[in-house]
Amino acid sequence: MEIDRRAFIASLGGVAAVNLMDHEAKADALEHYMEEKLDAGVAAQQPEKFPTVAEIEAQIETRPFRRGAGSVFTSSRGNVKILEKMPDKPTLHDFFRLRFAPANHVLQSATRAMKTGMSEEIILACLLHDCVLSLIKPDHGWWGAQLFEPYIPEKSAFAIRYHQTLRFYADDDAGYEYPDQYYRIFGHDYQPPQYIADTYKMLKNHKWYMEPRLVTVNDLYAFDPNAKVSIDPFEDIIGRHFKQPKEGLGFDNSPSAHMWRTLSRPDQPL
Ligand SMILES: [Fe+2]
Ligand SMILES: [Fe+2]
């Protein structure tokens, strides 16, 4: 095994500390250091150990919030912050900037969809498919479709609603594998509930099967946190397919207006 002399000396506290050690202590330290390196090397070669469903469930009572709370309602680092006020007549862009941000995941998915030559309905679906996670996480396909349904093409809403189901089922022909990320977040022994299995059965025979399937194909699990993404390349598609209400999102009395208002003002107590 090759030893990085500098790293080894640094691990002991530097040259001065090493000079204070006798021969035997130095030999012990070296042996210990080599053992640790060897263990780390072996660990790096092991396949990742995914948690079980039971292990994930055991974490529930270790948190002051539930996993399904939308991201505007919780903070992973200390207290939540004051949110910037939404304009009086908020647009989709305002929500992207002030409530869905950084929105890296959806922007990267939509960028991929654009690069791979998807239809405009699918690119729009990819751009919006996980935005509702700011509001709520369980059943985010259904919630997300409902949030956007009054404003987007029927095919895009269908794709958003059902991407949640199809991501649990591989499709080799379409180039979609079950993601490792799901072994991590649901547990390696997770079985989708019956309503998801039933929905999958319905989708397999549906003429629009490929719409949500293409969202899953462009859904990135190993997305790059440093990639420079912007909503600008999607301006035209949003302009053509997103019916921005003149009163502003939340104030047009649509069936999902209350969801937009809740996103606007998540600090309201009632
Ligand atoms: Fe999703
Ligand atoms: Fe996604």
Q: Domain holding 132: CATH number? A: 1.10.3210
Q: What are the phi and psi torsion angles at 72 (to 5°)?
A: -75, -10
Instruction: Please report whether residue 53 resides in a domain.
Output: no
Per the DSSP assignment, residues forming a β-bridge with 171 are 176
Query: Is the backbone peptide bond immediately before 102 cis, with ω within 30 degrees of 0?
Result: yes
Question: DSSP state, 61?
Answer: G
If you measure from the C-alpha of residue 141 to the centroid of ligand 1, how many angstroms do you get, rounded to a whole number? Answer: 7
Cα 79 to ligand 1 centre (Å): 26
> Do 94 and 162 fall within a single domain?
yes
64 domain-assigned: no
163 is in which domain, residue-wise?
71-264
User: How many domains does the chain contain in total?
Assistant: 2
Q: Is residue 59 included in any domain, yes or no?
A: no
The pTM of this model reads 0.83
24 and 90 together in one domain? no
Please check whether residues 29 and 81 belong to one and the same domain: no
Residue 222 is predicted with a pLDDT of 64
The pocket of ion ligand 1, defined by CB under 5 A, consists of: 130
Q: Identify which ligand lies nearest to the alpha carbon of 145.
A: 1
Contact 130, 140 (CB under 8 A): yes
Do 83 and 33 share a structural domain?
no
Ligand 2: centre distance to CA 168 (Å): 12
What does the block give as tokens for 48?
């990742």
User: Do 93 and 172 fall into the same domain?
Assistant: yes
| pLDDT tens digit at each of 270 positions of the chain | 666 777 777 777 777 777 777 777 777 777 777 667 766 666 667 778 999 999 999 999 999 999 999 999 999 889 999 999 999 999 999 999 999 998 999 999 999 999 999 999 999 999 999 999 999 999 999 999 999 999 999 999 999 999 999 999 999 999 999 999 999 999 999 999 999 999 999 999 999 999 999 999 999 876 677 778 899 999 999 999 999 999 999 999 999 999 999 999 999 999
**Do both 175 and 235 map to the same domain?**
yes
